Amino acid sequence: MRRPSTLVGVLLLVLTLISCGPWRVWSWSSSLCKQKNLEVRPHSVSITEFGAVGDGVTLNTKAFQNAIFYLNSFADKGGAKLFVPAGRWLTGSFDLISHLTLWLDKDAVILGSTNPSDWPVVDPLPSYGHGRELPGGRHKSLIYGQDLTDVVITGNNGTIDGILISNLTFLDSPFWNIHPVYCSQVTVKKVKILAPLDSPNTDGIDPDSSDNVCIEDCYISTGDDLIAIKSGWDEYGIEFGRPSTNIVINRLTGKTAVSAGIAIGSEMSGGVSEVHVQDIRFFDSYDAIRIKTSPGRGGYVRNVFVSNMTLENVNTAIRFTGLYGEHPDDKYDPNALPIIEKITIKDVIGQNIKRAGLLEGIQGDNFVNICLSNIILNVSSSYPWNCSYIQGYSDSVSPEACKPLKERIFPEHCSDCYYLSNQLQSSKNQTRAGQISGCIRS
């Protein structure tokens, strides 16, 4: 924990799930965000059956731990549900199990204890080296799990084959709110995440070395990145080698006063690819879309597609930072240069934007095939674009893009840009599917 503030909410979740399931490789399709309903859990208990008291004062850590220990006996019998009724349930860290639904009733509040002894310290993540949050370790999350599959955390009784977090509010986390790491098949849907706009490191949702992740219909307002896609830190992330791939983000709304609406990095040493973002609204924010990396990171960011974005009162619409710095230690290889390529951003409108783009690559390591299309921004700065060490194309961009991006996306450049095929577009956009300035692919 960074700060000793009270952790309050319908559910506060700083979720660290390790090896959530088999490392399956899915064929990339529009069905990623479609939920698969399973049978209702045949076994259910209430937290009150294990002595929990929802008065906001009684510590219920043992009650949560004992209840989940009991429910573990039903893991191979169709799974189980732990019901949390209305009340204020104070607790320290507790572990989840596979085939479990943690179901919060209306007006149920899980409160994280402010006593440091209720937050055990565990080993750092192997892809981060000495640790990102705490040198040599990390505090266990309030709700924690390792080697899990088929976990549901929700306020409605529904499940999918994987991990589902839905219909909940997360309030005043001391660090990253939802952090699925080394996971497959994750859905975060219809959640609200709130933290003070001046609270550092309170990222909303951070898919980390995870694949097949769907984030949709969420509202996030925090003091850091609303969504940050990660995959390990410098030499540790390179060695661990687990990328984040097949990430879908739909219908996200929010604000952040000092960071980005959607960020990739800065820890991206295992690689990030196949990121599809659409129907986004950011307001009263610092950056909208940002890629953060540095010499020493290695890894790659490629095949990113952002479309249908509305911005209001945003400092910088598009920002790439090639010299972000922040290394875990001095053992990194400064010659491990990241590959940033095939980033497409299209169909963007913005009002009261200070700067259209600040795109800074790395000398000797240009960011390439950056493609911008149909972007109209009302910009107040006399110098709307500032670009260095990048290469790409643009079409129908106002204010006119910087010189390295001024070449238009004619058909001969179609293969240089990343864009979606017809089956990946939402139905309302099918008439324009797969098109960027005349580039059409079925």
- Domains for the chain: give ranges and CATH numbers: 15-26+143-432 (2.160.20.10)
Q: Is 363's pLDDT higher than 70?
A: yes
pLDDT tens by residue, 32-87: 787 666 558 999 999 999 999 999 999 999 999 999 999 999 999 999 999 999 99
Would you say 233 and 270 are in contact if contact means Cβ atoms under 8 Å apart? no
pLDDT at residue 178, as a whole number: 95
Q: At residue 436, does pLDDT exceed 80? A: no
pLDDT band of 19, cuts 50, 70, 90: very low
Please, which residues bridge with residue 344 across strands? 305, 371
**pLDDT tier for residue 30 given thresholds of 50, 70 and 90:** low
| CB atoms near residue 34 (< 10 Å) | 10
- In this prediction, residue 32 carries a pLDDT of 78
Helices (H), 208-267: 234-240
pLDDT of residue 135: 80
Residue-wise pLDDT for 281-336, tens only, equals 999 999 999 999 999 999 999 999 999 999 999 999 999 999 998 999 999 999 99
pLDDT per residue over 125-172, tens digit each? 999 998 777 788 888 999 999 888 999 998 854 433 358 899 999 999
Contact of 182 with 207, CB cutoff 8 Å: no
Average pLDDT, the chain: 87
d(CA 375, CA 378): 10
Q: What is the C-alpha separation between 256 and 282, in angstroms, rounded?
A: 8
* DSSP reduced 3-state for 87: strand
pLDDT at 26 over 60: no
What is residue 34's predicted lDDT score, i.e. its pLDDT? 78
In whole angstroms, what is the distance from residue 125 CA to residue 148 CA?
A: 16
Catalytic residues: 224
Please tell me the distance from the alpha carbon of residue 79 to that of residue 95, in angstroms, as a whole number. Answer: 16
**Distance between CA atoms of residues 82 and 63, nearest Å:** 11
- In this prediction, residue 36 carries a pLDDT of 61
CA 391 to chain centre: 27
Mind giving me the DSSP string for 196-224? -TT-TT--SB--BS-EEEEEEEEEEEESS
pLDDT at 93: 95
pLDDT at 345 over 70: yes
What pLDDT is recorded for position 22?
32
* pLDDT for position 411: 82
**Residues 21, 162 contacting (CB under 8 angstroms):** yes
Question: How far apart (Å, rounded) are the C-alpha atoms in residues 340 and 330?
Answer: 24
pLDDT-derived band at 385, boundaries 50, 70, 90: very high
Residue with tokens 């540790």, as numbered in its chain: 236
**More confident: 426 or 214:** 214
Would the pLDDT of 229 be above 70? yes
Alpha-carbon span 21 to 124, nearest angstrom:
20
pLDDT band at 21 (very low <50, low <70, confident <90, very high): very low
- pLDDT at residue 420, rounded to an integer: 62
CA nearest to 218, candidates 165, 174, 268, 180: 165
Residue 193 is predicted with a pLDDT of: 96
